[in-house]
Amino acid sequence: MKQKLLGMTLEQLQQLVLQEGLPKFTAGQIAQWLYVKKVGSIDQMTNLSKAAREKLSEKYEVGWTLPQEFITSADGTRKYLFPVSCPVGQGYEDSAIEAVMIPDEDRATLCVSSQAGCKMACKFCMTGRQGFHGQLDAAQILSQIITIQESDRLTNIVFMGMGEPLDNYDTLSRVLQCLTESWGFAWSPKRITVSSIGVLPKVKLLLDNHKCHIAISLHDPFPEERLQIMPVQAAYDIRDVVALLKQYDFTGQRRVSFEYTMFSGYNDSKRHADALARMLKGLECRVNLIRFHKIPDFPYETSNTAAIEMFKQRLNANGITATLRASRGEDILAACGMLAGKNKNQGRQE
């Protein structure tokens, strides 16, 4: 199996070319072909000598994963399906992942997956229901960004697709370098948001080593209730996650936000709103309220509009900025918590 170039840092490419007996500056040329010109094969790297290209092609490939299909929502949201093969045990397992492109006036946001399936088993999430099928490598993650039709007009990237990004931290960190360093995509970190359910040690690593925004899936301020719907609470108490975040400065360009899915009669009362406000007091942040999208075998419905509005106003009155996130792509199973590695037989394929 050939080694993938896509997802390598400049330092890794420098080590590679020296190992292959090529000039060190060749690494910069390869990086430009991978991340600026976005070529899909070594043969297209035309400022490398033919001998160098042939030598590299013996052991290496660019490593694109192309989308198998896509489906478009009535609201313009587009969901891409990618076939992937992930290491499991001593072999590889074939699976599928999804990426979601959300257009909004002059913005185009891509929701990127970091794993095939997910270990975290949140009760209200379709991805968590399917279990874990493997870690995506850096090339598989970056392919979601490079190979879609909207690649050149993307304005924002959110790691909120399938999987827990911080459970694949080393690979995520390398991808973030490829996205933000001058030799890579050269994106501003403020165009990127990483979402996590609160894997505490990795949250600290992300905050210490990267400047992108962070979003924490909170969903209930009471630990015993959160545990019932999010097993991760047993390992990483949300109170400890918030305490860690309060040690960092979010008054500048980097932001922290909290995702809060609304379940009728479970986490949408005044008691919950007030407890959440107390928990977040003193932290410069935003709470994104999310309507729950119904999935099979989960007993709760989404909160009604009056309950959501009460919750939002109560947070705002306590000095916590809260907004209701618009639901996008629900008709094609592309909304929050609905990604399962397969397309719904609705929408329009092109």
Instruction: Quote the CA–CA distance of 207 and 221 in Å, as a whole number.
Output: 22
Beta strands in 170-277 (DSSP E): 192-196, 213-217, 256-262
Would you state the structure tokens that stand for residue 257, as one six-digit string? Answer: 């936000």
Residues 6+ apart with CB under 8 A from 20: 55, 56, 59
Residue 83: φ, ψ to 5°: -80, 135
Longest dimension (CA), the chain: 69
- Please report, in angstroms and rounded to a whole number, the separation of the first and last CA atoms in the chain: 33
Q: Residue written as tokens 């990004």? A: 165
Please give the Cα distance from 294 to 292 (Å, whole number): 6
Nearest Cα to 159, choosing from 202, 195, 205? 195
Q: How far is CA 135 from CA 7, 34, 62, 90, 172, in A?
A: 14, 22, 19, 14, 10
Name the residues annotated as catalytic: 98, 336
- Separation of alpha carbons 142 and 258, rounded Å: 25
* Cα dihedral 309, 312, 313, 314 in deg (nearest 10): 120
What does the alpha-carbon distance between residue 184 and residue 221 come to, in Å, rounded to a whole number?
39
- Rounded Cα distance between 298 and 310, Å, is 24
Q: Which DSSP symbol is given to 326?
A: P
**How large is the angle between the packed helices 200-209 and 238-245, nearest 10 degrees?**
20
